Structure 1
Amino acid sequence: VLTLSTAIDIQNKACACIICLTDRVPTVGERCIMSGYGYENAANTLPRDPIPLKWVNQTINQQNTATSGNCAVFQDTDGTETDVNNFM
């Protein structure tokens, strides 16, 4: 768990910076929080500008070791539109 001592003002920052965390393979059934930028719907359109940093809580379904070694396969793959109310 990473706990911040003060809030981060993302709107007034020039960029979102990275932090280094321990690299480990999640176990099947574990919940993971993923974050990043990208499309918000199956039509691959970007309805908002600027594009916000987003996050989603996913369940690990299986490990795909055949193609990449440590690439997790996630349970929520039905292509439904992302709930943008969950994002900053």
Structure 2
Amino acid sequence: MATCVPVRELKDTAHFLSIVEDSREPVTVTRNGREAIIVMTPEMYDSLRSELAHERLMRKLDRAETELSRGEGVDGPSFMAAMRVKYGE
């Protein structure tokens, strides 16, 4: 279940920190009944960043496979040969 706390709870930072640390999800801080900020532990943040990076990588791989199936891409050895020619190695 999502945890929401009003902004006034931030006055007691030690208590607020324990709420964030004890929550299994990001904590929503509200002001005047509306979302103001989202707070999470560093572990949650790292996990979220890792998931996003994985999703971006998978999209790139899907795009590359589609391009290859259309004949728009090149294989690894051909690419490396072109780079050697281009950069003089």
- TM-score, with structure 2 as normaliser: 0.21
Which has the higher relative contact order, 1 or 2, with Cα contacts under 8 A spaced 6 or more apart?
Answer: 1
Give 1 or 2: higher strand fraction: 1
Larger radius of gyration: 2
Give 1 or 2: higher helix fraction: 2
- TM-score, with structure 1 as normaliser: 0.21
